[in-house]
């Protein structure tokens, strides 16, 4: 173990700014955001829609290029990498999406094969591995089905199996349960928890649903209007939110609280 404070940080974001320029004006999606995530953590980033959380998670694998600041993943500054280096680095940073983003014209098994094809794994080997992954998400009977024949929850399971094919160190979840009903959400969250525990994959969860964070996250960051309001352990932030934005978000998110109580808390 090193004494270096950054040693355990698998992701470090430093002074990240993202501005979308249009002809008329510019939108500041992220303003000077800094935080870090420990290896093995399940880290939640919550905020209302338009808070910039999706932009933030997309900056972590450079699907979105930051305007300024640094994104350091496993001690590598992603913005300093060559195109080819970034491509290889991305293979170890998996991502799942709100709308699953499976290939509609490929079977479930062939969808899981895609990342392996990208890495040039021979056909026999990748099909065996894909089948194994499909079993691990409990969908081995659906190997020949097409995504359109699956429910939302099943599609997200396939997407999770697909992302695991690259044996990533990090898994980014961009509103991964937002298109699912509460029950299905629960099963997907349990699966993510399993992945974190058994494979030691660091998970970053972007969501507007408080219960997702409460259910699986260890640490949480509150994002509001492109500004990181506060970070901490889930229990810290949820029991004692310090900023106005966090209070508003947390008390509104707890369904057992009434409007008046929210008003009382927020003041």
Q: Which residues bind another protein (CB under 8 A)?
A: 61, 63, 87-91, 93-95, 97, 99, 101-106, 114-115, 117-119, 146-149, 159, 163, 166, 172
Token pair recorded at residue 153: 């929850």
CB of 175 to another protein, least distance (A): 12
Cβ pair 91, 168 in contact under 8 A: yes
Instruction: State how far the alpha carbon of 198 is from the alpha carbons of 114, 146, 201, 233, in Å.
Output: 24, 29, 8, 22
Nearer to another protein, 172 or 249 (CB): 172
CB of 120 to another protein, least distance (A): 10
Residue 69: which region, alpha, beta or left (left: phi > 0; alpha: psi -120 to 50)? left
Would you state the torsion angle of the CA atoms of residues 248, 250, 252, 254, taken in this order, to the nearest 10 degrees? -160
Cβ pair 227, 33 in contact under 8 A: yes
User: Which helix (H) or strand (E) covers residue 170, if one does?
Assistant: strand 170-174
Nearer to another protein, 12 or 99 (CB): 99
CB of 39 to another protein, least distance (A): 20
Burial group, residue 164, by CB count within 10 angstroms (0-12, 13-18, 19+): buried
CB of 90 to another protein, least distance (A): 4
CB of 118 to another protein, least distance (A): 5
Nearer to another protein, 111 or 229 (CB): 111
Instruction: State how far the alpha carbon of 126 is from the alpha carbons of 20, 55, 56, 91, 189, in Å.
Output: 40, 32, 32, 16, 27
Nearer to another protein, 160 or 222 (CB): 160
Nearer to another protein, 52 or 147 (CB): 147
CB of 97 to another protein, least distance (A): 6
Nearer to another protein, 141 or 151 (CB): 151
């Amino acid at each position: 173990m090193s004494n270096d404070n950054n040693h355990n940080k698998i992701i470090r974001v430093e002074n990240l700014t993202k501005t979308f320029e249009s002809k008329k004006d510019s939108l500041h999606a992220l303003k000077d955001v800094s935080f870090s995530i420990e290896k093995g953590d399940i880290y939640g980033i919550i905020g209302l829609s338009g808070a910039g959380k999706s932009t933030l998670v997309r900056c972590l694998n450079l699907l979105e290029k930051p305007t300024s600041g640094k994104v350091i993943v496993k001690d590598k500054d992603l913005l300093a990498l060559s195109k080819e280096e970034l491509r290889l680095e991305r293979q170890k940073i998996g991502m799942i999406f709100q709308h699953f983003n499976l290939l509609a014209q490929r079977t479930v098994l062939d969808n899981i094969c895609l990342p392996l094809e990208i890495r040039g794994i021979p056909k026999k080997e990748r099909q065996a591995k894909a089948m194994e992954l499909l079993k691990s998400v409990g969908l081995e009977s659906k190997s020949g089905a097409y995504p359109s024949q699956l429910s939302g929850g099943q599609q997200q399971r396939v997407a999770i199996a697909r992302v695991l094919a690259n044996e990533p160190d990090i898994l980014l979840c961009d509103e991964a349960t937002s298109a699912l009903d509460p029950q299905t959400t629960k099963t997907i969250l349990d699966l993510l928890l399993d992945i974190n525990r058994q494979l030691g994959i660091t998970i970053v969860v972007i969501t507007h649903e408080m219960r997702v964070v409460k259910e699986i996250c260890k640490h949480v960051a509150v994002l509001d209007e492109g500004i990181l309001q506060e970070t901490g352990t889930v229990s810290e932030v949820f029991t004692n939110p310090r900023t106005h934005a966090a209070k508003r978000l947390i008390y509104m998110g707890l369904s057992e609280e009434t409007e008046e109580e929210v008003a009382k808390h927020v003041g």
